[in-house]
Structure 1
Amino acid sequence: MNMGPDELRDRFAALTTAHVADACLRAAAPVRCAPPGVGPVVAGGRAAGRVLPTRHVGSVDIFLEAIDRAAPGDVLVVDNGGRTDEACVGDLVVLEAQAGGLAGLVVWGLHRDTVDIRAVGLPVFSLGATPTGPRRLAARPPEALRSARVGEWSVDPDDLALADEDGVLFIPAIRARELFDLAESIRDTERRQAERIRCGEPLRAQVGFGGYLAARAENTALTFRDHLRAVGGAIEE
């Protein structure tokens, strides 16, 4: 059973996208990150929710239609093809999303009205800002409200969007509990390791780095990740 929006929000509040990305590695799930340029417009912004996909073709009506059919806690994911010659989202769309109960927006493209968007306070993640709005009006594809692309990834309502100051990560909703359980375990291990460093025990000692170097000399196929799994380290996943 998928997580509800309240459980998702509460559990992600104690995690980061980095923890969940490491969990994806450990669970052999694809690590689907938005390109590194997609970042928060509002400092400290965080969002977690079901993907509400839209494909922008030059008019705001696609966003209004998506919001009209949204469920509370959804994240509006806007596919503008990564364009950097126009903004596709402004403050009115963000206000409308907030009024519709959405958890935030992820924009594969640019926004504008930065000052007003920050005043609204709803988490928005985009490639950046430009003053100009849409510069064209194209035909609307049949899948405009069924899926969206962000970088190399296609996402749809079967996915969750997780976003914080490290960026945006997409995970299958059906695997959310499994991945969050792993992410929480990784987080707890890393916190213990960090506390031990602060108390004077170097990370090299904690993970038996000298032993790893000796073992690697005997077995050149041995990777540090294999060694970390054997000793319970979590610094790479």
Structure 2
Amino acid sequence: MLELPDKQDNPWAVLSISNSWKTLPPMLWSAQAPEFSPVEDLIDISPMALRLLQLDVQQLRTHVEGVSTLKNLHAGNILLPGMSPLAQKYAGHRHGIFNDRIGDGRSLLLGEVATPLGRMEMYLKGGGRTPYALRGDGYLGLRSAIKEYLVSHALYGIGIPTSLPLSLCNHERKIFRNQLEKSATVISLSPSHARVGHFEWLAARGSAAGMKALIAHLGGCYGEGGDMSVEQFFKHSVQR
């Protein structure tokens, strides 16, 4: 992978990044690097997302090194200092049937960024196969990526809590989704990307220790402390 240029030459280097998900039991994640895939175009960078990261919108959109770094991050050709990518493991229901073999099949948690407003997880979608991809190829079609990018911004804009896309790229690789089309990647931000399926996975495995660790982690994500009981966390989640 490429090395990140000096801080004075790159606005991304000022971010403080870690990955506390790796402190959770290994049954909840697998380390996984993104697959290299050359970027054709950086389609958009979200001003709203940049403001969440306390980055100057105008500076970054016109900063040659900054734009190049973001494209390389989408391409799987660079990681920012502190990033330690992983795929999350969870369970869920597909077509009404419980499935405990699933997880992030084409998404990776790159790391979490410390901001004055709280931590923000940075997720890369479409970066290739993971251990939980099953029969999927791990890629994301451009049409689906554009829909996700626009709808997520619309939901966020009207006050419905959701992940907020940071940037969207299309790639040189072509994939087949009912027709041949360009592949794409989306990087998104959220205080947490935890799913109901994480709890379903731990419950299916009978892991009380894992459940306690996950609840403590999520309490920290949302600034609520890590000493809530399972019952308190459930009631609080319903209220939210």
TM range (shorter): under 0.3
Relative contact order (alpha carbons < 8 A, sep ≥ 6): 1 or 2 greater? 1
- Structure whose alpha-carbon radius of gyration is higher: 1
Given the two structures, how large is their TM-score scaled by the length of structure 1? 0.25
| Bigger strand share | 2
